[in-house]
Amino acid sequence: MIDSRISDRNAEAAGVPLSTLMETAGRCIVATIDSEFGSMKHVVFVCGPGNNGGDGFAAAFILSRRRDVSVIVAGKPGIQRKPDLDEKLDRVSGLVREASILGSPEMKKTLIVDCLLGSGINRQPSGEFLRIVRMINEARRNGSAVLSVDVPSGFPYEERVNPDVTVTFMDAKSGMNESNSGRIITVDIGIPERAMKYTGPGEMELYPVPKSHSHKGNNGIVTVIGGGAFAGAVVFSSLAAYRAGADLVYTFVPGTSVRTVASFSPSIMAFPAGDTSLSPDSIDRIMPWIGRSGAALVGPGTDATSVDFTERLLSRISCPLVIDAGGIEVAGKNHDLLSGKDVVITPHAREFTMLTGKHLEEDLDSRKESVIEWASRLGVTILLKGAVDIISDGRRVRLNDTGNPGMTVGGTGDVLAGIVAALMSKGLGGYNAARLGAYMNGCAGDLCFGRKSYGLVANDVIEAIPEVLTAQLEDGR
């Protein structure tokens, strides 16, 4: 869960500084303390090294003017913090005490405010953080009250803080309920509407950064199946998957296209799937390669000669899957091919009609409702390509307006499909892979447009993907 990091970064991009969000969050936390725990005069804020801790520092400073406040700062001494957090911490430096006070007898009538780990956590708490989570829970068993901020620290994992109340921002996070979060109070801290509706730099928080000890194959393996009428499509998809960070890409095309496809780059591992067209007889040879992969991409560059092949192949694939181009029409004729799978489908307006039988209206709101409806009906994620992309899994929806009119050039949709497949192969679910993929593809296109205007081509977008990663991935995640 990294909802708050995403919204915080997107809010900054929309013009609301992180410091402002922290101050507003601090005031909301204090208001909750006053309304829910007004009789408790001693308040201990337990603050971690992230933005959640910054919210706690802001609240502690405000509350210290009229209550007995202590602050516990978790994290190794000298830990690198953002400037906004350093400024908030400096204001409460005189209130800082050791974590050992959580076990002292004086805690019996104390309120503990849990700002240790927000929804940015993506692993089970360990080390010092796990020790403090356990100390908070023990203090609660011994008579303390606990208010968690954003989410209970450690949520959604088994070892987490068990609060009486959780004050959360904008909306309860997925999976939160009264049994794991206590009574949930939702507050508005002024995150702009755009930051909640549209993709932005915050989506880069979803990118699965490789671990330092990883080796080849740990960071995504993709199988791309397509080609035939348009051999270049699978080249664009395969190279985009590599540039998005996949370790290995296996590319299956008709036998007559293997040499052509492989000639574009030594990185492309091209294999035959039939002779002059994609043949159903080749599926048994393809399946072991798909079995080694974290995701498959079916459809780029295919035509009517591959319909039988595509239908049979889709019926057998169970791994995370992206369906593009020719594969969309096949899926539209047999929706059962999509059942029980993590699927992203990437249509433009005409292909959406092929998939659903429904003609799309021109206005954005109507399109959004149609995408949500059909994503829900089909049990898939739909990434509708357009001037504003619409991404939905039937429950959630995100808009993406990165990109530009220069990207109407052929091949940019194949690039997008390759990026999404790479992200799924790294372990992202379809919805998150689609929203991040749309953002990355559009940002890469915008970089190209700044240099080549309407003369950009799909290859330019592919080569700009690493620039997006370099510029927008935060160090040390």
- Asked whether the predicted pLDDT for residue 477 surpasses 50, the reply is no
pLDDT for the residue 432: 97
| Last residue within a domain, chosen from 197, 217, 251 | 197
Give yes or no: residues 232 and 370 share one domain.
Answer: yes
- Range with the lowest mean pLDDT among 11-25, 112-126, 198-212, 454-468? 112-126
Q: Is residue 137 part of a domain?
A: yes
Give yes or no: residues 229 and 85 share one domain.
Answer: no
**Structural element, H or E, at residue 183:** strand 183-187
Give yes or no: residues 112 and 254 share one domain.
Answer: no
pLDDT digits (tens, 9 = 90+) for 236-282: 999 999 999 999 999 999 999 999 999 999 999 999 998 888 999 99
Give yes or no: residues 172 and 222 share one domain.
Answer: no
Which CATH number fits the domain that encloses residue 161? 3.40.50.10260
Give yes or no: residues 154 and 249 share one domain.
Answer: no
Q: Is residue 477 part of a domain?
A: no
Of the pLDDT bands very low, low, confident and very high (cuts 50, 70, 90), residue 475 is very low
Residue 458 CA from chain centroid, whole number: 24
Q: Is residue 379 part of a domain?
A: yes
Domain extent at residue 313: 207-472
Which CATH number fits the domain that encloses residue 324? 3.40.1190.20
Tokens of 452: 């080549």
pLDDT for the residue 476: 36
| Last residue within a domain, chosen from 179, 197, 215 | 197
Give yes or no: residues 156 and 105 share one domain.
Answer: yes
| Phi, then psi, of 233 in degrees rounded to 5 | -60, -45
The share of the chain scoring above pLDDT 70, in percent, equals 96
Give yes or no: residues 320 and 454 share one domain.
Answer: yes
pLDDT digits (tens, 9 = 90+) for 96-105: 999 988 888 7
Give Cα separations from 361 to 49, 352, 364 (angstroms).
47, 11, 8
pLDDT for the residue 1: 46
Give yes or no: residues 27 and 119 share one domain.
Answer: yes
SS3 428: coil
State how far the Cα of 353 lies from the Cα of 473, in Å rounded to an integer.
Answer: 36
Mean pLDDT of 23-41: 93
Task: Please give the model's pTM, rounded to 2 decimal places.
Answer: 0.89
| Last residue within a domain, chosen from 154, 172, 197 | 197
Give yes or no: residues 180 and 222 share one domain.
Answer: no
Q: Is residue 446 part of a domain?
A: yes
Mean pLDDT of 206-216: 89
Burial of 177 (0-12, 13-18, 19+ CB in 10 A): exposed
What is the bridge-based pairing of β-strands 389-392 and 381-384?
Answer: antiparallel
State how far the Cα of 195 lies from the Cα of 198, in Å rounded to an integer.
Answer: 6
Give yes or no: residues 110 and 240 share one domain.
Answer: no
Give yes or no: residues 239 and 111 share one domain.
Answer: no
pLDDT for the residue 30: 96
- Asked whether the predicted pLDDT for residue 388 surpasses 80, the reply is yes
Give yes or no: residues 427 and 348 share one domain.
Answer: yes
Mean pLDDT of 40-46: 93
Q: Is residue 182 part of a domain?
A: yes
The share of the chain scoring above pLDDT 90, in percent, equals 76
pLDDT averaged over the chain? 92
pLDDT digits (tens, 9 = 90+) for 136-184: 999 999 999 999 999 999 998 889 999 999 999 878 888 899 999 999 9
Q: Is residue 40 part of a domain?
A: yes
State how far the Cα of 188 lies from the Cα of 397, in Å rounded to an integer.
Answer: 20
pLDDT for the residue 23: 93
Give the chain's domain count. Answer: 2
